[in-house]
Structure 1
Amino acid sequence: MFLPPAGAEDVLDDLSAVRPSEPVREEIQTGAPIEDFTVAQQSISSKDPGSYEYRIGPMDVIEVEVFQAEELSRAARVNTQGFVSLPLIGGVKVAGLTTAEAEREIEKVLGEKYLQDPHVTVFIKEYESQKITVEGWVKNPGVFPLKGKTTFLQAIANAKGMDRLADFSEVAIFRTVNGKTTGYILSYTKVRSGQQADPVLQSGDIIVVNRSGSKAGWELFTKTLTSFVGWTVLF
């Protein structure tokens, strides 16, 4: 049974969603209000694609290098509270920061008491805090870490591509923010040809690829999901 993602930080505001051809509108309301699940029916304004920066999260492993102070350099895992433990200075909160921001924060702490004009470099060694899921008719479905800016097409490529039986015209992306789940339908074919924007994914996003010609199966899937949220479905 498929469950929607537990949460995500931002709305999927760079995804241009497509209304499927000859849609039949079906509204189902179970549990949560119907407004808790909506299907995008028009283009959504895009963020600057170049503005995306990976932000460190709990369970990531970062490599901290302090220039000319090898004894202060180390690889460490970010704990569940978002802190990384470093020699001499102890815990420093780095969750939610980019690597550049983490460098400045660690330099600030070191410079306050221990070093004069410290220079710190931070690398992400293991990406564990941010993941997406690709399910359905792809060659290698699964859960994949976000290692930086990842688009819809890159996620499909990470799953070894679309299965030959997949529906290339209707692929769903689900995102949950503050308990509200939003689904977007887009065309893999149009995104690949440049007719639609290739949306940047967020942690917790779920991509579901349906089988070609399997409307009954798709409807069963959506009805199953309504056991957890109320929503509007477009077919």
Structure 2
Amino acid sequence: MKLISAMVFLMILLPVVAGAEDVLGDLQPQEKSASIPDDRRNGGTPMDDFAVAQTPDQPDSRTYEYRIGPLDLIEVEVFQAEELSRETRVNTEGYASLPLIGPVKVAGLTAREAERRIEKVLQEKYLQDPHVTVFIKEYESQKITVEGWVKNPGVFPLKGKTTFLQAIANAKGMDRLADFDEVAIFRTENGKTTGYILSYRKVRAGQQIDPVLQNGDIIVVNRSGSKAAWKLFSETLTSFVGWSVLF
């Protein structure tokens, strides 16, 4: 019965994990890698793909700024030029369509950088000393997923610097039946998904790093007492080409 339950859990989670994007560079798997048996380290199995992370470099919270992406809704205001102001959605190629000047590439820019770029275009064509303000009204290009034993699981937009604890708070907190000591985070890089385990208790106590999340991250909160299911889950993942699971 435990085997069937674990496989059902795997079938539910895999489609979600497959949609993850980007790199898990700011999480530390602590000492989990030390528990990998020697025969798996040197036996030519998929476990050979383990990449033991070192202490990660955390982004400076004082300089972190959200970067505009496709489908984000932005509002552009040009001081004393209402006819040039507009609310517009960034298209799939990263351009915002603006009055008179047409499409301007804003994807990958912070709001401040987008302001400077639009000011430059306006100055070249229409205004002597333009002053532009850009507001991000809808955050659609960057999302994370929180699944499992939280009070409000779902997909949440990244509206700026968001940490693991903030993501759990966005999901209304941990369910009383959740495993507070083993929470999984998945991120995919170049087709390879890496899993990390964090202790919610230790992160809250400041004993473990509270990692900054990135677009596509998937947080999975297991039920308390299901460690055997996690072991089976991690071992099953290694049978897929390109998977590296740090449990």
TM bracket (short chain): 0.7 to 0.9
- Counterpart check, 1:2 vs 2:13: yes
Find the counterpart in structure 1 of residue 101 from structure 2: 89
Relative to 1, partners in 2 of residues 1:228 and 1:24: Cα closer, same or farther, differing over 3 Å?
A: closer
Counterpart for residue 133 of structure 1: 145
Determine the structure 1 residue equivalent to 2:127.
115
Distance across 2 between alignment mates of 1:63 and 1:12: 31
- Aligned AA (1:150): T
1:198 is aligned, of 210, 214, 225, to 210
Deviation, structure 1 residue 33: 5.4
Check the 8 A contact 1:5/1:206 in 2, yes or no. no
> How many residues get paired?
230
Gap change, CA 1:107 and 1:87, over 3 Å in 2: same
Q: Percent same amino acid at aligned positions?
A: 74
8 Å Cα contact 2:195/2:246 also seen in 1: no
Q: Residue 44 and residue 198 in structure 1: after superposition, are their counterparts in 2 closer, same or farther (change >3 A)?
A: same
1:106 equivalent in structure 2: 118
Structure with bigger strand share is 1
The answer to whether the 8 Å contact 2:58/2:212 transfers is no
1:72 aligns with 2:84: yes
Residue 46 (structure 1) shift: 2.5
Instruction: Kindly state the Cα deviation for residue 17 of structure 1 after the two structures are TM-superposed.
Output: 2.6
After superposition, the CA RMSD in angstroms is 2.6
Aligned to 2:4: none
The runs of 5 or more residues in structure 2 that have no matched partner are 1-11
Question: What's the CA shift for 1:232?
Answer: 5.0
In structure 2, the partner of 1:175 is 187
Distance 1:234 1:197, change over 3 A: closer
Tell me the TM-score normalized by structure 1: 0.87
- 1:184 is the counterpart of 2:179: no
Find the aligned partners of 1:45 and 1:126 in 2 and give their Cα distance.
Answer: 29
What is the Cα deviation at residue 112 of structure 1? 0.4
- Which amino acid is 2:135 matched to? F
- Whole-Å Cα distance in 1 between the matches of residues 191 and 244 of structure 2? 16
**Structure 1 stretches of 5 or more lacking a match?**
none
1:209 aligns with 2:225: no
Which has the larger share of helix?
2
Q: Give yes or no for contact 1:8–1:204 (8 Å, CA) kept in 2.
A: yes
In the superposition, relative to structure 1, how do residues 204 and 229 fare at CA in structure 2: closer, same or farther (>3 Å)?
Answer: farther
Structure with bigger RCO (C-alpha 8 Å, 6+ apart): 1
